[in-house]
């Protein structure tokens, strides 16, 4: 089966679409990466996504228009990946845009009209992947570890890290799905990006600002005191905890200690590195496989290498482009949902059982 996955994450900077071919073998199918395309969001769309996820009141009209517009954007990148493939996929998996994630209150919301995508591309579209897990008492996240196990578990004790807006880790001590552990470690690029925007940049490209700056230890210690880091897995987080107010407080704390904006960015980078390091400390891991946009931040990766003392591989080296990993994962989840097969790991989400998650929208 050929499946397409479309992903837009908490960074709200754009979309990725990826296509894979999934064999019929079970429990471990052959999975072959086929294609990947990426597209940046125009500023006007990105700003409205960030506003919708900020926690500030937003009119129902504005949310409805954003839901429709995102559907059109997903359909557009869907056409692009199908053209790159040169053949029709069996299904398209659409994560949607998270605008609210409150696991303690058993609530999560992703928007982006999947029916528009199904009609435009004349293919079944699977969306709303998180709700079924939440209904079973889970956090609705993380879901990607199901795919990580199929892609990367080969008997070598490995940790698989995605550094998006939020960083999340999948721990693969063995080839057995029942041994997989996964959770969000905390902010990935989210706080770094918000601080970079205060200097007129969309991100800290290559970690240049962090490399120039110095870590403000009191500000770092205060940030690491956030209650999220003391919670036990399963756990997940988002912009609700590490959004603009958190970034603004870190900047204020850095400046109060005589720091500059570059110093605040260096401190935010250290926060990402330390929270990831604590997540893998004490494990049997021989390798740390890194994906997501943060994989291209040279300063972050080098500091992660020093902090963890692990062999670090980019997922590119294992055949999955770093930026495509989550889109690939949702393509796999979608293919399993189309076949009515379980595609969640309740040990990772906290749900009472596994479920075939996702709603199928047909053209």
The dihedral of CA 274, 278, 279, 283: what is its sign? positive
Report whether the peptide linkage leading into residue 71 is cis, meaning its omega lies within 30 degrees of zero: no
**By the 8 A CB rule, do 276 and 145 touch?**
no
- The pLDDT of 233-259, averaged and rounded, is 96
Domain spans in the chain, listed from the N-terminal domain onward: 2-144+324-361, 146-318
Closest CA to 250 of 234, 233, 226: 226
- The pLDDT of 9-15, averaged and rounded, is 86
In the prediction, which pLDDT does 303 show?
A: 98
In the prediction, which pLDDT does 34 show?
A: 98
Q: Which residues contact residue 257 at a Cβ distance below 8 angstroms, ignoring those fewer than 6 apart? A: 216, 218, 219
- The pLDDT of 234-238, averaged and rounded, is 93
Looking at the domain 2-144+324-361, which fold is it? Nucleotidyltransferase; domain 5 (3.30.420)
Separation between Cα atoms, residue 159 and residue 152, nearest integer Å: 9
Phi first, then psi, for residue 92 (nearest 5°) are -125, 125
Report which listed range, 10-14, 54-58, 165-169, is most confident: 165-169
In the prediction, which pLDDT does 315 show?
A: 97
Closest CA to 36 of 320, 337, 289: 320
Q: Helix crossing, 60-85 with 43-52: angle to 10°?
A: 130
The H or E element that residue 111 is part of is strand 107-111
Separation between Cα atoms, residue 223 and residue 265, nearest integer Å: 13
Under the banding of pLDDT at 50, 70 and 90, the label for residue 26 is very high
Hey, which residues does 17 pair with through a beta bridge? 6, 37
- The pLDDT of 257-278, averaged and rounded, is 99
In the prediction, which pLDDT does 306 show?
A: 98
Under the banding of pLDDT at 50, 70 and 90, the label for residue 53 is confident
DSSP state, residue 34: E
Separation between Cα atoms, residue 324 and residue 326, nearest integer Å: 6
In the prediction, which pLDDT does 106 show?
A: 92
- The pLDDT of 143-148, averaged and rounded, is 97
Under the banding of pLDDT at 50, 70 and 90, the label for residue 55 is confident
pLDDT at 10 over 90: no
Under the banding of pLDDT at 50, 70 and 90, the label for residue 19 is very high
Q: How remote is the C-alpha of 319 from its chain's centroid?
A: 19
Options 3.30.420.40, 3.40.30.10, 3.30.200.20, 3.90.1150.220; CATH of 146-318: 3.30.420.40
What is the percent of the chain with per-residue pLDDT over 90, rounded to a whole number?
Answer: 93
In the sheet that 91-94 helps form, which strands lie side by side, from edge to edge?
31-40, 14-22, 2-7, 91-94, 125-127, 359-361
pLDDT in tens, 252-263: 999 999 999 999
- Residue ranges of alpha helices (H) inside the chain are 43-52, 60-85, 114-121, 131-135, 145-152, 190-198, 208-212, 217-224, 239-242, 244-256, 261-280, 298-308, 325-338, 346-349
The per-residue DSSP string of 214-269 comes to ---HHHHHHHHTSGGGGSPSS----HHHHSHHHHHHHHHHHHHTT--HHHHHHHHH
Closest CA to 48 of 35, 36, 61, 63: 63
pTM over the 0.85 mark:
yes
Same fold, 2-144+324-361 and 146-318: yes
| Residue 175 to residues 123, 149, 343, 348, Cα–Cα distance (Å) | 33, 7, 16, 15
In the prediction, which pLDDT does 13 show?
A: 85
**By the 8 A CB rule, do 142 and 329 touch?**
no
């Amino acid at each position: 089966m050929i499946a397409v996955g479309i992903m837009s994450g908490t960074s709200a900077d754009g979309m990725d679409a990826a296509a894979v071919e999934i064999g019929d073998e079970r429990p471990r199918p052959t999975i072959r990466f086929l294609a990947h395309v990426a597209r940046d969001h125009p500023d006007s769309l990105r700003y409205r996504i960030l506003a919708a996820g900020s926690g500030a009141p937003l009119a129902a009209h504005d949310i409805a228009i954003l839901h429709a517009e995102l559907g059109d954007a997903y359909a557009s990148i869907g056409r692009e990946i199908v053209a790159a493939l040169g053949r029709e996929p069996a299904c398209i998996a659409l994560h949607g845009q998270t605008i609210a994630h409150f696991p303690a209150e058993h609530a999560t919301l992703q928007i982006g009209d999947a029916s528009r995508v199904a009609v435009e591309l004349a293919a079944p579209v699977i969306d709303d992947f998180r709700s079924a897990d939440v209904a079973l008492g889970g956090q609705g996240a993380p879901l990607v570890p199901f795919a990580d196990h199929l892609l990367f578990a080969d008997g070598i004790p490995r940790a698989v890290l995605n550094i998006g807006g939020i960083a999340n880790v999948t721990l693969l001590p063995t080839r057995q799905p029942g041994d997989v552990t996964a959770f969000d470690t905390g902010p990935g690029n989210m706080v770094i990006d918000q601080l970079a925007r205060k200097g007129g940049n969309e991100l800290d490209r290559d970690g240049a600002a962090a490399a120039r700056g110095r870590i403000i230890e009191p500000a770092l210690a205060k940030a690491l005191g956030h209650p999220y880091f003391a919670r036990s897995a399963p756990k997940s987080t988002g912009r609700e905890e590490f959004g603009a107010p958190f970034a603004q407080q870190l900047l204020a704390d850095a400046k109060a200690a005589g720091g500059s904006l570059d110093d605040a960015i260096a401190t935010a980078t250290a926060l990402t590195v330390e929270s990831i390091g604590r997540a893998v400390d004490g494990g049997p891991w021989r390798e740390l496989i890194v994906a997501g946009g943060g994989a291209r931040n040279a300063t972050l990766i080098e500091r992660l290498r020093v902090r963890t003392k692990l062999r670090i591989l980019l997922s590119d080296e294992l055949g999955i482009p770093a930026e495509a990993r989550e889109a690939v994962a949702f393509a796999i989840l979608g293919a399993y949902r189309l076949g009515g097969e379980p595609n969640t790991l309740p040990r990772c989400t906290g749900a009472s059982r596994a479920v075939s998650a996702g709603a199928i929208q047909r053209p």
